[in-house]
Chain A
């Protein structure tokens, strides 16, 4: 049981490049979320999903896309990277809605946009 896995661990992009951050969980959780963590800002919700085929926006969705074709995977796409997207990104999953259940977090992806 690997829990929540994220790849890559580190990534450097140039402004305007696109990329996908991968997230997978093997706990059969319906709820999955993407957060970004910036110094002094805590965690801010980017997008979340309540099940395969269903996604919704969080607090800071601009510049990011998500899809949920399977229960296990929830990739986050940066369409045209900007320096403001330099951050640490965490994926989380839970059996019930994230605010009513324990969320399990991945180890994070540290992204730098030059």
Chain B
């Protein structure tokens, strides 16, 4: 079974600074990978996903993520953070063969200082 780890519970950055949120997965083959964002009091919204092809994936709101097979990672990045990016971010992984049920990480809370 697949698993996913988000090592950072909280990340604090200043507005305008760059951001990287870490995600590590465990799965024998190439997984399906997702990043979702949850604003306070809201449901989750997809930022981006990776299934195959180019390992650098562009998403909405200026986010990108890079799939690194050798490191089993799918880190989320943004070059310049806005105050509206303050939210909870979830990485999810699904097996590319099997039931395709996604497993979510525990989330990283992003705090943005003005």
Contact = CB atoms under 8 A, between A and B. Distances in A.
B101 A48 contact: yes
Interface stretch (B11-19, B41-49, B67-75, B78-86): B41-49
B63 to A, nearest CB: 15
Interface size class of A (residues with CB under 8 A): 20 to 34
Contacts of A42: 90, 104-107
A103 B90 contact: no
Nearest to B90: A42
Contacts of A43: 44, 90, 104
A47 B99 CA distance: 13
B102 A107 contact: no
B39 to A, nearest CB: 11
Interface of A: 4, 35, 40-45, 48, 58, 90, 92, 96-100, 102-103, 105-108
Which 7 pairs of residues, A with B, have the shortest CB-CB distance?
A99-B94, A105-B43, A99-B100, A97-B100, A42-B106, A99-B102, A43-B104
18 contacts: A35-B104, A42-B104, A42-B107, A43-B44, A90-B43, A90-B44, A92-B43, A97-B99, A97-B100, A98-B102, A99-B99, A99-B102, A100-B100, A103-B44, A105-B36, A107-B42, A108-B41, A108-B42
Given A98-B102, A99-B100, 8 more contacts: A42-B105, A43-B104, A97-B100, A97-B101, A100-B51, A102-B46, A102-B49, A107-B41
